[in-house]
Structure 1
């Protein structure tokens, strides 16, 4: 007898069947679950965000996802900066989340920063339900419209069935070709909606093409220019690191004995302790790097956008040089500096093409001797009287001596950023994490958090200024909560130092709104957060205090009282000639 409600099948008609998993209906999930699945399929390990009403369905879907580490940040700007640093260090897009309205708009500074520096980031923002969009609903903002100018691509999710693949597309776009930030705006009805669709692996749009191999005839012409050069120079840009081309760069430069200059974003792409290294060029770059650029006859520029802080006045930048410009983004070719030999393609691939095309090295022995002469003549140095206030350069060098080569350095923006770039010797890529194009004060601390999450086994040191540190100090609560072992050195001069330096030089010392008559005691403030706090006021305290801060298992803050009148040199006036760098205020 069959059970009630069932249909009996005669014994002789029964057959054995095997269920094909492909025939099984997909389980019903929500759009939010599809978003989380898309992140998992992409291989995402960590996310940085702040909860809120419109993004809450996505966070609810994250509740059951044990393979994704979520770091709750104190502010959405901090989430974007942490994701930015994470993306720079891993090469995979860092993920940040925020709710609608102020949550989304608080991400804008971080997205603009990532956009200027071509850093891979994907932002997921909550949005009011679709039917309320355009009706000034609570915490509604046109997030797609607001962020369009500062993202590589952004999308408004329209339905639960497609949202997972949309997130995958945004992820792929953030990573592939020239990296950059992307955003997906997620209306609450879409993330709450049901779907039986399973997102696939991240995939680029069909129309999106990336040229990786440069035109062969253009490569041969560029190789010939290098071979016949007597004053060749490599200018490595941030694209060398983002394109994982540091090994190709190092092999090429060493094989052909060509001196190497970097941009600030490319610090670490070529070891600064190598005899061919001239370190970084530009407004506050080394005198010898700027002299080499100004006198070379062939400049191989790789993965740089020739921004104004590098070039100074365009008309005086590498005036006698044939320009070979390698970039994966064709829009950068001849945008600022006209290229004699445009090579569109992936940095590492094009370097290998050039290496194959070059039959001999340039005859440049005299040029290398000249570059060494400039290194001796314009050596980076500073006065350090032991009976005076602490010089910030001394602190940077002291910390460098204490730490291993693979230590990751993050900074805010200002004088401290320049000293950290100038007086730390970088030998490895992805160890210098800073804000370059946008110049975002407050970047350092949240970037240190993202760096430590990305590379938990590497030491992370943040150099910050008192003004920059105060802009995102709330993120110290995150470092304590997550027990992140980072060391922050606040180079404290009671001022927005770079502004004060410019006021002294160009505004007849009218120090309007640049000096602080009072700043907090950062060591005590650190302790109130639950971090370790230290203070340095004398030279003989530097080594032991830095060592104690490093040995503390958790976040530590070192408040270093530096000479408030110390300035950053060399310095090229804005729009000036790089060869006419100043070594003191009197020379400006």
Structure 2
């Protein structure tokens, strides 16, 4: 009979899956397992809050293309992750989360809760592991599900069962990597391509818009060639922003974050080709952004209705790259008309947001902050954009390619930025990571500054500090309501940073940025730079949804 405990075998099962990094917060129901996993060589990133463990694993999964792994204890440990989980589900990120469960043999346990309904309500899979002899195989199957469905799987293991002597098979099951179907990319049907070619032939102004499916399929180059061939402009969804950052005919982001030039040009389009995208509600602003255009979708899972609206009119079912390449071969080269010097100049010279706002003494316009950071930060640094009012401005750093700029905001929750930065730093330990965040979002999990320092991560946090929840103050003001409930004053982030043992600076003059960036590049480490910004500058996203003074 084996002398090993069950938790040891479960840790070995995770290790066999190739888990090199795990984001963890320990408690009674996972500490034995996690300690064993660390002893097997897995790097453990010990965070201060359970939400941050899962959110960090999300960014790690996006950056590595592998399964992100996190662990929390049972009961309150598990309920803390319920904001991160829906975001991971909607962003289609593969995660496996080891969660303890209350001991089965206890007649009463303070932290006992029926965990499955919480996880399933968030859209993730919950697998209770209550049969020790099958647990190793169940772990393998959890990884297999995460890999093949690109969704989070939570495994719950009662910690009294974890402590049992292992009586199952002596040999671990074949790892999930060996069981993922070895199949080729889906080619398009010739009839679908022929119909799509006719659409292109009759269209006058075309936009080729790529999503994360195009990124995953390596379809960026094919999209560029298709656009050149059919006189089309290029664009991306928000998560795929930067895929065509260096193309003069890229209008950037399509959706609520669209620039002024993009909005103007999308209003002229009569055909939008969505490549590897679910055509989300925000992507089309509920149909307002390019509602006059026929939408052709190229995707392995074509759809007509997406997030409550008819989103696509025609379809090619195919891998993004193969579908685009086949369509390119089926059409003739068109004379460039829309792809003109005038269009390129409009894209290049039109301000992202030309709305004028009065300057406030001693405060920055957030647009000026982003422009200065864009002009001075090294191109090889890894960028992480959080959520909230400030995220619009940072999304428009034109020189930053998609592979060095992380955006995950499918659930619309603030407070994730610092966790995402930790996940990227774990995935890119040799790079400098720059987090762009707002003061309200950063304060939600400010305790993770200690995690960054303790693990020696090279992270620079640039915070636009308007002393409030930025989106909420503008919404309240537009409704003619008091903004008192969303205004909290401006935290002194430089002092907060110093208190945690990292660098801190309040940037009062943007002309200081070249010096500050050069010094940080030489020294490395971690720091927070506090940019005091005006709370009177309203992003286009809020202005359109909540016009100022409409109730005045």
TM-score by length of 1: 0.84
Distance 1:326 1:379, change over 3 A: same
Q: 2:327 aligns with which of 345, 354, 361?
A: 354
1:18 match: none
Local SS of the residue matching 2:544:
coil
1:55 match: 30
Superposed displacement of residue 140, structure 1: 1.8
1:74 match: 48
1:497 match: 470
Q: 1:566 aligns with which of 528, 531, 537?
A: 537
Distance 1:232 1:523, change over 3 A: same
Local SS of the residue matching 1:430:
helix
2:365 match: 391
1:535 match: 506
Q: 1:514 aligns with which of 486, 489, 505?
A: 486
1:138 match: 110
- 1:490 and 1:557 in contact (8 A); partners too: yes
Q: 2:79 aligns with which of 81, 86, 105?
A: 105
Q: After superposition, what is the alpha-carbon deviation per residue over 1:18-60, rounded to whole angstroms, capped at 9, x for unaligned?
A: xxxxxxxx96644433333333333221110100111123113
1:418 match: 392
Local SS of the residue matching 1:97:
strand
Moved more, 284-293 or 454-463: 284-293
- 2:30 and 2:159 in contact (8 A); partners too: yes
Q: After superposition, what is the alpha-carbon deviation per residue over 1:423-472, rounded to whole angstroms, capped at 9, x for unaligned?
A: x1244223222332212211111111110110122221011111111001
1:154 and 2:126 matched: yes
- 1:531 and 1:555 in contact (8 A); partners too: yes
Looking at structure 2, the residues matched to 331 and 159 of structure 1 have their Cα atoms a distance apart, in angstroms, of 40
Looking at structure 1, the residues matched to 2 and 324 of structure 2 have their Cα atoms a distance apart, in angstroms, of 49
- 2:82 and 2:119 in contact (8 A); partners too: yes
- 1:48 and 1:70 in contact (8 A); partners too: yes
Superposed displacement of residue 542, structure 1: 3.4
Report matched runs for 1:73-92 at 5 Å: 73-92=47-66
Q: After superposition, what is the alpha-carbon deviation per residue over 1:2-31, rounded to whole angstroms, capped at 9, x for unaligned?
A: xxxxxxxxxxxxxxxxxxxxxxxx966444
Looking at structure 1, the residues matched to 276 and 351 of structure 2 have their Cα atoms a distance apart, in angstroms, of 27
- 2:51 and 2:82 in contact (8 A); partners too: yes
Looking at structure 2, the residues matched to 269 and 475 of structure 1 have their Cα atoms a distance apart, in angstroms, of 30
1:270 and 2:240 matched: no
1:429 match: 402
Looking at structure 2, the residues matched to 297 and 347 of structure 1 have their Cα atoms a distance apart, in angstroms, of 21
1:380 and 2:355 matched: no
1:220 and 2:194 matched: yes
RMSD: 3.2
Distance 1:435 1:136, change over 3 A: farther
Report matched runs for 1:233-248 at 5 Å: 233-248=207-222
Local SS of the residue matching 1:200:
coil
Moved more, 483-492 or 228-237: 228-237
1:481 match: 454
Q: After superposition, what is the alpha-carbon deviation per residue over 1:356-406, rounded to whole angstroms, capped at 9, x for unaligned?
A: 4x2323455146567446536743256696965222222222222333333
Local SS of the residue matching 1:352:
helix
- 2:69 and 2:97 in contact (8 A); partners too: yes
What stretches of structure 1 of length at least 5 have no aligned partner?
1-25, 577-581
Looking at structure 2, the residues matched to 427 and 202 of structure 1 have their Cα atoms a distance apart, in angstroms, of 35
- 1:534 and 1:557 in contact (8 A); partners too: yes
Report matched runs for 1:308-323 at 5 Å: 308-314=281-287, 316-323=288-295
1:307 and 2:273 matched: no
Superposed displacement of residue 514, structure 1: 1.4
2:141 match: 169
Looking at structure 2, the residues matched to 182 and 426 of structure 1 have their Cα atoms a distance apart, in angstroms, of 36
Looking at structure 1, the residues matched to 9 and 323 of structure 2 have their Cα atoms a distance apart, in angstroms, of 39
Looking at structure 1, the residues matched to 503 and 362 of structure 2 have their Cα atoms a distance apart, in angstroms, of 27
1:460 match: 433
Looking at structure 1, the residues matched to 445 and 154 of structure 2 have their Cα atoms a distance apart, in angstroms, of 23
> How many pairs does the alignment contain?
546
Distance 1:79 1:65, change over 3 A: same
Local SS of the residue matching 1:274:
coil
Superposed displacement of residue 529, structure 1: 0.8
